[in-house]
Amino acid sequence: MDNISLTTLLLFLVVFIILSAFFSISETSMMAINRYRLKHLAQTGHRGAKLTNQLLQKVDRLLSVVLLGSSLVNAAAASLVTVIAIRLFGNHEWVITLGALVLTFLLLVFSEITPKIIGASYPEKIAFPASFVLSPLLQAAKPVIWFVNLFVHSLLWLLRIKTLGTGAAHKLSMEELRMLVLEESHFIPKGHQSILLNILDLEAITVDDVMIPRTQIEAIDIASPPEVMREQLSTAYHARVLAYRENLDNVVGILEVRKALASLEAERISTEDLAQILREPYFIPEGTPLFSQLQHFKENRRRIGLVVDEYGELKGLVALEDIIEEIVGEFNAHSPMQTGMYQKFEDDSYLVEGSSLLRELNRKLGLSLPLHGPKTLNGLILEHFEDIPESGTSLKIAGYPVEIVQTQGRFVKMARIFPKLNTGKHGHPIQ
């Protein structure tokens, strides 16, 4: 090296620092790249994405070639700095120490921190071009990498450390998927994000949360006279109604309004014969998750199911449209038989029906009523009092003052929900 000029040595030092920076920026960009977008780009034929994806399939080999290259150039740079320092200042111990400190500073600033920040900020722009360099390097260094990894895997085996496969390392739980959708909101349109979040919620929501309660089911008694049935069917809101004989505990099936009405008006069949065009009822156990029920509707080619408890008693009705609305939002008007409507007042309070589902109130009115217990406002109030409250009685639920406006028998028919109190400034009494 004595015959090489100082300028040439400095030039080599710059080259080694640049190479070290390349390996640092490549490693960081490869690790920071979005794997899902990478796979999508690779499937569309993007050459850089394909190479990058192939490299990341064997992370141990990728890291080996990056660290091997980085170690070699850093060692070469250290040797050059020592030679340069001796030529400039002589062969003294403090000169070697000074050279090591200078090199550490140069590598830290120009080959580590700065490149890694850039690589983490622009992973795709760095990783795709870098893959065209790392791929041939990986092929050329295969024997060395195999030899090094032989010791690495032996050491891991001795330490009883198991390495996870690529697929296992990137499995996401439902909560992690939810967080991914929320974190990437600037890449996902708001409407799409809402639908994705609703789909992820289907596993946590049961049929009890969205079913039409028993008292609000549109049903027809096939034991009624033909003229009564004809009148009921002609004013039916739904295309299919529940058919029963004498009482709702004796469900006989689902009746298509159009077919039944046509048959009755043509007087081709009697009321008894009407049972022959009924479709067999489809029962759903209470507590069934909506996601599972969606699959069951698909497998059984059904659109309507009857929710029953452990004793077989009818609790409510769930339609395929109810589950779809949980995903995309409400897209049709509700039947006049269905309650749950509300009225807003100037003081931002709401007059709501006791049969309103708590999930509906939270979603439509922006409330945060508890969902872990009763499903309706009436159930929540009765659980609080453990008795039937009188009209005019007030209470506080989850911080919201609630006034009982009207009761009917054993049921809270109407209630008024006020905004959350601010340290007792509200004028309504709380019990």
Q: How many CB atoms lie within 10 A of CB 28?
A: 22
Phi then psi for residue 279, to 5 deg, are -95, 135
Phi then psi for residue 107, to 5 deg, are -65, -40
Q: Considering only the top CATH level, what class is 342-417?
A: alpha beta
Return the closest-CA partner of residue 308 out of 316, 297, 300. 316
Q: What is the mean pLDDT of residues 373-378?
A: 84
- CA of 123: how far to CAs of 41, 49, 162, in Å? 14, 11, 28
Q: How many CB atoms lie within 10 A of CB 311?
A: 5
CATH level 2 (architecture), domain 207-328: Roll (3.10)
- Whether the pLDDT of residue 338 is over 70: the answer is no
* H or E stretch at 72: helix 59-89
- Whether the pLDDT of residue 269 is over 60: the answer is no
Q: What is the pLDDT of residue 264?
A: 66
Q: What is the mean pLDDT of residues 289-303?
A: 91
Asked whether the domain spanning 342-417 has the same topology as the one spanning 207-328, the reply is: no
Q: How confident is the model at residue 120 (pLDDT cuts 50, 70, 90)?
A: very high
Look at 132 and 152; give whichever has higher pLDDT. Answer: 132
* Mean pLDDT for all residues in the chain: 83
Q: What is the mean pLDDT of residues 170-175?
A: 70
Give 367's DSSP letter: -
Residues 315 and 309: beta-carbon distance below 8 Å: yes
Q: What is the pLDDT of residue 423?
A: 46
Q: What is the mean pLDDT of residues 257-265?
A: 74
Q: What is d(CA 398, CA 377) in angstroms, rounded to the nearest whole number?
A: 12
Q: What residue ranges do the domains of the chain occupy?
A: 6-169, 172-196, 207-328, 342-417
When mean pLDDT is compared across 172-176, 341-345, 426-430, the lowest value belongs to: 426-430
Q: What is the pLDDT of residue 30?
A: 92
Paired residues of 251 in beta bridges: 244
Q: What is the pLDDT of residue 425?
A: 42
For the purposes of burial, counting CB atoms within 10 Å of the CB of 67, is it exposed (0-12), middle (13-18) or buried (19 or more)? middle
* H or E stretch at 350: strand 350-353
Q: What is d(CA 114, CA 121) in angstroms, rounded to the nearest whole number?
A: 11
- Whether the pLDDT of residue 272 is over 70: the answer is no
Specify the amino acid at residue 340.
G
Q: How confident is the model at residue 407 (pLDDT cuts 50, 70, 90)?
A: confident
Phi then psi for residue 189, to 5 deg, are -55, 145
- Whether the pLDDT of residue 335 is over 80: the answer is no
Task: At 423, list the tokens.
Answer: 């340290």
